Structure 1
Amino acid sequence: MTPKRVLVAYGTKHGATAGIAEQIGTSLREDGLDAVVLPADDVDDVRDYDAVVLGGALYAGHWSRKAKRCAERNADSLKHRPVYLFSSGPLDSSAEQQDVPPVPAVAQQMERLGAREHATFGGSVTAQTPGLMARVLVRSGKAGDFRNPERIQSWAHHISAELATLP
């Protein structure tokens, strides 16, 4: 039997969300799934995949435009397969301390697509992150890498386990 094909797509500006998507893809592959990780801009058709994990960075409380457009472009096909959404962005440990609910735009996408669940992971802004806002955050001491690899991997393994129970 061929393994289930899972697309992990992500919308990011500076790469932190791509890192989360790569970790998810690696964990899904460890569980025997055929996981492909792609930028959301590169996803025009999801019909070749049995399930989709779509993530986007949060900027000032808004989900990545790239992730949102990917969801809208593929909405008809996404409605007919298991979909999991994630967000990355809090620049603190809040995503570790509690379940951070999806921002309104993500909650709306969840409903439109019939997504099974959503997870929010900490974001990352460091001295290497380009842009004025990143420099301001670094100078003010509010920068850092708040992504938790163990939590990301655990969520991905949870997805694998759930997909294993589906026909």
Structure 2
Amino acid sequence: MSEIEKAGIQRDAQRRAVSSPGASQAIIRHLGVDLYQERHPASRTPDEPVQAKPMTVLVTYATKMGATASIAAAIGHELRAAGFTVDVHEIGAVPAVTPYDVVVLGSAIYQGRWLPEAVRFLRRHGRLLRTRSVWLFHSGPLGASRRHDQPVPADVERIARELSTPPVKTFAGNLQADVVLHDTDLERLVGDSRDWKDVRIWSQQIASAPEPSRGGGVHCAHH
């Protein structure tokens, strides 16, 4: 067979590239095994597990003295250990929530109110947050009240209902002596009240929750 005839057969085989087994075998013969495998990657065998893409999580926070930031970092650490892809950023450093499946947001709470930048974030990104799984926490209680849930501010409670979030989680805070000089009332509360076991348990709840769907529903997560 001449080289011209071989080239003609090859061109005919390329034009007949269809999905039937017989046609596939013809393509293999005329295009070569390597080229065929490049154009038609091997299908997964029945016993081969599907490698699901890890969910992406944003952990973001508004902090005043650093305690909320450290809690956010701990949550991020736990979720990475559970197999998620996680970014931890202060609220002012978050360009968008679009890349994320799950958003965890925390704020320090002072005199019964969240820091304003945290509330603004929820309002600004409200439309996109409605199609994601959103978890909220606040930190701040000290001393004898460190184990008591703090009431959720009315504006945050309203947004949480709109986003259908789980209950807002309260974490105890951390008050350093150098920020309460000459304040007798606050000096009695100085100390680190953060409960890292509590942080770990709540993070595990997030990790085991149903996986969000961008379409608005949920399906079971497997981690």
TM-score by length of 2: 0.67
- In structure 2, the residue matched to 1:40 is 91
Query: 1:102 maps to what in 2?
Result: 152
TM-superposed deviation, 1:99: 4.0
Which structure: larger Rg? 2
1:32 maps to a residue whose letter is: G
Q: Unaligned regions of 5+ residues in structure 2, if any?
A: 1-51, 213-217
Deviations 1:44-80 (A, max 9, x none): 3101000100000001111111211111111110011
What is the match of residue 160 of structure 1?
207
Distance 1:9 1:93, change over 3 A: farther
Shift of 1:119: 0.3
Question: 9-18 or 140-149, which moves further after superposition?
Answer: 140-149
**TM-align CA RMSD:** 2.0
What is the number of equivalent residue pairs in this alignment? 162
Identity of aligned residues (%): 35
The answer to whether the 8 A contact 1:27-1:157 is kept is yes
- Which whole-Å CA distance do the structure 2 matches of 1:15 and 1:138 have between them? 21
Q: Which has the higher strand share?
A: 1
Query: Counterpart of 1:127?
Result: 177
SS of aligned partner of 1:106 = helix
Matched, 1:145 2:145: no
| Residues 89 and 34 of structure 1: CA distance in aligned 2, closer, same or farther (over 3 Å) | same
Shift of 1:91: 1.5
Contact 1:6 1:36 in 2 (8 A): yes
Compared with structure 1, are the counterparts of its residues 139 and 61 closer, same or farther at alpha carbon in structure 2 (3 Å cutoff)? closer
Distance in 2 (alpha carbons) for counterparts of 1:145 and 1:57: 15
Q: Give ranges in structure 1 of 5+ residues lacking alignment.
A: none
The 8 Å contact of residues 44 and 73 in structure 1, kept in 2 or not, is answered as no
What SS does structure 2 have at the residue aligned with 1:38? strand
* CA-CA distance at 1:115 after TM superposition: 1.6
Secondary structure of the structure 1 residue equivalent to 2:104: strand
CA distance in 2, matches of 1:137, 1:150: 30
* 2:108–2:139 contact (8 Å) kept in structure 1: yes
Which residue identity is paired with 1:111? R
Normalised to the residue count of structure 1, the TM-score between the two structures is 0.87
Q: 1:139 to 1:160 in 2, by over 3 A?
A: closer
Output the amino acid matched with 1:150.
K
